[in-house]
Chain A
């Protein structure tokens, strides 16, 4: 070996080595510092954040849905309740083959073939151990499944609650329905409150009182592992509303049931009115003038509310929605109709108030009216004319010519102002959604609603036909009932309402709500009386337009019939119901209140496309009034 290479300077080597060791120790110190710094950051600085994440990992919150409040009518009859039902459920991880299972369920008629894809998607979107509700089963269907249960591992039936309306289609538009929570619903609700709920109020009272009815959701904390399987429940004991399991520290908040609602509706009146309107399209509204309570709210045809809560199929909903008669459309508050002659008592009152006519003023009715300086003939419904008419007789016989003159004397501005004071042309404030405003025409209204400059001008002829409730004028049946109630009690006004009280879901304590007064209408009592007398005349006097229909009642009624043209006849053209398409025939209207001495009920009825109000709408009102008074020891005459 080469000596030069073999020579080693041990001292130098050792010094070099030691210096390297020291350098290594310094690096070790630095790296350890970095590590400790990182741990300090994670465990001290960001501890809270990671602690929350860890809790979020560990705890899952199981929502406990509240029980929905019940709905009663004014006499305590249940209109909406929750019935035990059978839910067909699937536990995905226990089903060997989902398609096979669904095939077999389909053969049993328990699964709709149209919904196969949706159901498969639904099951797939859940985790293996989560129960998936496929649908609600009827008692018979549940029995059918129960005897074959052993063929279906992983499929089972479970008790649940479903919204049920004992009267089915009755008061459907007032009550409204509940249905599956849609993405649009999620925008307007507190999601956490609906975590365990399937249905939500969609229309009517079910919707507008959703918050009251729904109650407050509870929850239960559970410990889950990384696969999401529940390892630990809090001990189940129903004690206080909020509790914490002393052993596990898991919290439980029990749900608070929703409050029950007491409605103004009287289901007897409602049922009778609906029966009377069987096969018709139209609406009927009955209001208690002393409170604004809506005793009946009918929109015909109706639909079965129960179809929605049990899960309406797409096809069924489409057929309801495209039905020519539009059963889902709430005619009572969303439908607006030309009032025809039922506007006459109001305009008569306006003429008295503004002093454009007095009670003794008489006018000749030759069967037509001509504006001074014009040639157009505005015709009376009675071709030969009514002869000499005063205000009273013009209402009793419903003379058009008298009201053409009267409207011209009042002028459109006064008419607009007066009708508006009764609430026409504006939502009445009923406590459900969907009211339309209708139209009380005015110069302003025309300016705003017509685009062409020449159409924006108010023509005198338009004032003329406003006098008999034609032209632009549109009222909702609810507005008519509301105004009739105001007329009945001589100017005192209350906001129409469907809900009159709530019953606490827990304590059972009932809180009745005060009627909400609206601005009163100040008119001389004498004028009110004259109009009342004229409306009584409609029922009781010879020549009165509703005499036959309303004869023989044990109570005294004041009313007014109306016939509204759906389309305009050309000059000199005869209206002939036989030759006109069904949907262009006249609407029949009727307003009434009774008993006349101390009115307890005001009614407005509209029947679409069946001709004048006397033969069509008045009988419906009669049935309502008869039922209203059947239990009343009402003796007069």
Chain B
């Protein structure tokens, strides 16, 4: 056919063949759930920005771009991806160094690279590149990794993490460490090694405190006691809890969130959009959103379980767990379970790079799922 044909495969993979033999790879459950989350997120964002059309149009464009990236990345063969991985990683680290040298300063931190039309946060690229690199490194080796291998992996993770933390962007640095760490975890490192690393983490916490900037320390202190400075550092979390709590079971209704619309809630279109949702749609709305997120995570873990080689397995596992980690850190921060770190709510918060990076990650999951060879292991 000249236009192409559309088939629904037995494994619920959609194959679209625009050029005859080469079919379009797509994971339908993943796509539907993603669209549901993005759609719901856009509805909440509409309320959060208070009808500022310009912002909505920009977010719409980002969503479109992100979906395109998702579709394109899904077409890349995992083996090709594996081949590119070291270069992507090196490219990302180079960009990070560039940012530190020439980057644009925004909101007190040097995170952006100005590419003329778009401004781009290289650290987002590393959220993907780091787990890819860890998976790539592990792929050739026997699992579980040896101690020396583990040291190499720690280096792979900590170099970009250190560069990002220097920007300073603690939130993203933690996410990058988490992304790499999850790849290590699922690779089968023994519980003993994990505990040892955890212990080192705890012991080094005071050291970390020493290297923190004042505002980062304030955030930790505020987390421990938000009421100590209700109009200063504690303001965000107090207002966010009020927004959530006053939403109740059913919420105040779409566009009726007083905390959001009367500007009591800070960062409502970005880091605290979860609170806007909780205020307007209540606990039920949040449970729906969390359920959709869990569906995505579950689908990702399933893809990981069905993956056929170490690289895809580790990559799919790490990406899925990292995604959950994003959700948990943001939601936990908004409802006062965790200190405030600048982590957006995935697929919902306004912001381009994060959305594109996430969708690229899901594109990889779709690619892994769509390119399995039907062979007995």
A-side interface residues toward B, CB under 8 Å?
5, 7-11, 13-14, 16-18, 20-21, 24-25, 28, 31-32, 34-36, 38-40, 42-44, 46-47, 49-51, 53-55, 57-58, 223-227, 231
**Closest beta carbon of chain A to B334's beta carbon, Å:** 10
Q: Which of A5, A16, A47 contacts B141 (CB 8 A)?
A: A5
7 tightest A-B contacts by CB? A50-B245, A54-B246, A16-B188, A226-B263, A225-B262, A43-B283, A58-B258
| Residue interface mask B252-263, A partner, CB < 8 A = 1 | 000000110011
Contact B142 A18 (CB under 8 A): no
Query: Across the interface, do B242 and A35 meet the contact criterion of CB distance under 8 Å?
Result: no
Look across to chain A and name the residue whose beta carbon is closest to the beta carbon of B317: A21
Given contacts A54-B243, A54-B258, contact A44 B337 (CB under 8 A): no
- 13 more A-B residue pairs beyond the given contacts A17-B317, A20-B188, A24-B317, with a C-beta to C-beta distance below 8 A: A16-B143, A28-B294, A28-B321, A32-B294, A38-B332, A42-B336, A47-B248, A50-B245, A54-B242, A223-B262, A224-B262, A225-B264, A226-B262
Q: Is there contact, CB below 8 Å, between B244 and A43? A: yes
Contacts of B282 in A (CB 8 A): 43
| Interface residue from A25, A35, A50, A223 paired with B301 (Cβ < 8 Å) | A25
Contact A39 B335 (CB under 8 A): yes
| CB of B373 to closest CB in A, whole Å | 14
- Contact sample, A vs B, 6 pairs, CB 8 Å cutoff: A20-B185, A38-B337, A43-B244, A47-B248, A57-B242, A57-B259
A-B contact count (CB 8 A): 135
Docked complex Cα distance between A586 and B287 (Å): 92
Picked from B239, B321, B337, the residue with its CB within 8 Å of the CB of A35 is B337
B162 partner residues in chain A, CB cutoff 8 A: none
Selected contact of A42 from candidates B188, B241, B259, B324, CB within 8 Å: B241
Q: Is B342 positioned at the interface, with any CB of A under 8 Å from its CB?
A: no
B242 touches A50 (CB 8 A): yes
Is B286 among interface residues, defined by CB-CB distance under 8 A? yes
Beta-carbon nearest neighbor of A50 in chain B: B245
**Chain A residues whose CB sits within 8 angstroms of the CB of B305 once the complex forms:** 17-18, 21
Question: Does B86 touch A at the CB level, under 8 Å?
Answer: no
Evaluate contact between B242 and A53: CB separation under 8 angstroms. yes
Determine the residue in chain B with the shortest Cβ distance to A227: B263
How near does chain A come to B273, taking the closest CB pair, in angstroms? 15
A58 to B305, CA, bound (A): 50
- A44 to B314 alpha-carbon distance, docked (Å): 39
Nearest Cβ on chain B to A233's Cβ, whole angstroms? 15
Cross-chain contact A24 with B185 (CB below 8 angstroms): yes
Is B247 in contact with chain A by the CB < 8 A criterion?
yes
Q: Could you say which residues of chain B place their CB within 8 Å of the CB of A47?
A: 245-246, 248-249
Interface residues on B, range: 35 or more
In contact, A44 and B263 (Cβ under 8 angstroms)? no
Query: Does B244 lie within 8 Å of A42, measured CB to CB?
Result: yes
Q: Which residue of B lies closest to A37 (CB)?
A: B337
Residues of B within 8 A of A223 (CB): 262
Instruction: Identify which of residues 260-311 in chain B touch chain A, using a CB-to-CB cut-off of 8 Å.
Output: 262-264, 278, 282-283, 286-287, 290, 294, 297-298, 301, 304-305, 310
Q: Whole-angstrom distance from the CB of B150 to the nearest CB of chain A?
A: 15
Closest Cβ–Cβ distance, residue A47 to chain B (whole Å): 4
Q: Tell me the interface secondary structure of chain A in the complex.
A: helix
For residue B109, CB closer than 8 A to chain A, the reply is no
Expressed in whole angstroms, the Cα–Cα distance for A36 and B327 within the complex equals: 13
Interface status of B11 (Cβ within 8 A of chain A): no
Taken together as a complex, chains A and B put the C-alpha atoms of A9 and B310 apart, in Å, by 11
How far apart are the CA atoms of A635 and B298 in the complex, in Å? 113
B339-357 contact mask (Cβ, 8 Å, vs A): 1 or 0 = 0000000000000000000
Please name all residues of chain B whose beta carbon is closer than 8 Å to the beta carbon of A39 when the two chains form the complex.
244, 278, 283, 286-287, 335
Q: Is the CB of B263 within 8 A of A49?
A: no
Query: CB distance B301 to A43 under 8 Å?
Result: no
Task: Tell which of A16, A35, A58, A224 touches B144, judged by Cβ atoms closer than 8 Å.
Answer: A16
**Distance of A449 Cα from B305 Cα, bound (Å):** 100
Q: Are A14 and B335 in contact (CB under 8 A)?
A: no
Q: What residues of A have a CB within 8 angstroms of the CB of B243 in the complex? A: 54
In the assembled complex, the CB of B330 is this many whole angstroms from the nearest CB of chain A, namely 10
**A35 & B247 in contact (Cβ 8 Å cutoff):** no
A615 to chain B minimum Cβ distance, whole angstroms, is 72
B111 located at the interface, meaning its Cβ lies under 8 Å from any Cβ of chain A in the complex: no
Q: Which residue of B lies closest to A10 (CB)?
A: B377
User: In the bound complex, what is the Cα–Cα distance between A224 and B258 (angstroms)?
Assistant: 10
Cβ-defined partner of B248 (8 Å) among A18, A34, A44, A224? A44
Residues of A within 8 A of B120 (CB): none
Q: Is the CB of A43 within 8 A of B247?
A: yes
State the Cβ distance, A36 to closest chain B Cβ, in Å.
7
Residues in B with CB closer than 8 Å to A32 are: 290, 294, 328
Q: Looking at the assembled complex, report how far the CB atom of B237 sits from the nearest CB atom of chain A, in whole angstroms.
A: 12
Instruction: Convert B176-202 into 0s and 1s, putting 1 for each residue whose CB lies closer than 8 angstroms to a CB of A.
Output: 000000100111100000000000000
Q: A8-B142, A20-B317, A39-B283 are in contact. Are A51 and B264 (CB under 8 A)?
A: no
Among A5, A14, A43, A226, max chain B CB count under 10 A is at A43
Beta-carbon nearest neighbor of A16 in chain B:
B188
Which residues from chain A contact B96 at a C-beta distance below 8 Å?
none
Instruction: Give the chain B neighbours of A227 by CB distance below 8 A.
Output: 263
| Residue in contact with B186 in the complex, picked from A11, A17, A50, A224, CB distance below 8 Å | A17
